[in-house]
Chains A and B, each alone.
Chain A
Amino acid sequence: MKKMMCLLALAGLTASAAHAQKSAAVQAIEEYRAMLADGNPAELFEAKGEDLWKQKRGPKNASLQQCDLGQGPGVTKGAFVTLPRYFADTDKVQDLESRLLSCMENLQGFDAAEIAKTPFGKGEQNNVTALATWIAAESRDMTFNLPQVHAKEQIAYEVGKRLFFQRGGAHDFSCASCHGAENLRIRMQDLPNLTKNPGDGIGFAAWPAYRVSNGQMWGMQLRLNDCYRQQRFPYPGFASDATVALGVYLGVNSHGSKSIAPALKR
Chain B
Amino acid sequence: MSFIEDTRKFLRENIRDYGMFIALFFIIAFFTVATNGLFLSSRNIVNLVNQTGYIAVLAVGMTLVIVIRHIDLSVGFLAGFLGAVAAIAMVSWGWPVIVVIPFILGLGILAGRLTSFMVADLGIPAFVATLAGWLGYRGALQLVTRSTGTIVIPNDAFNAIGNDFIPEIPVPWIMPEMHKLTLVLGLISIVIFTTSEIINRKRMQRQNIEVSSKEMFILKLVAVSALIGSISWILAGYRGLSWTAVVVLIVVIVYHFMTTKTVLGRHIYAVGGNPEAAELSGISVKRITHVVFGSMGMLSALAGILFAARLQSATTTAGTLFELDAIAASFVGGVSAAGGVGTVIGSLIGALVMSSLTNGMNLMGIDISYQYIVRAIVLAGAVIFDVTTRRTGK
A binds B: no
B residues near A (Cβ < 8 Å) are none
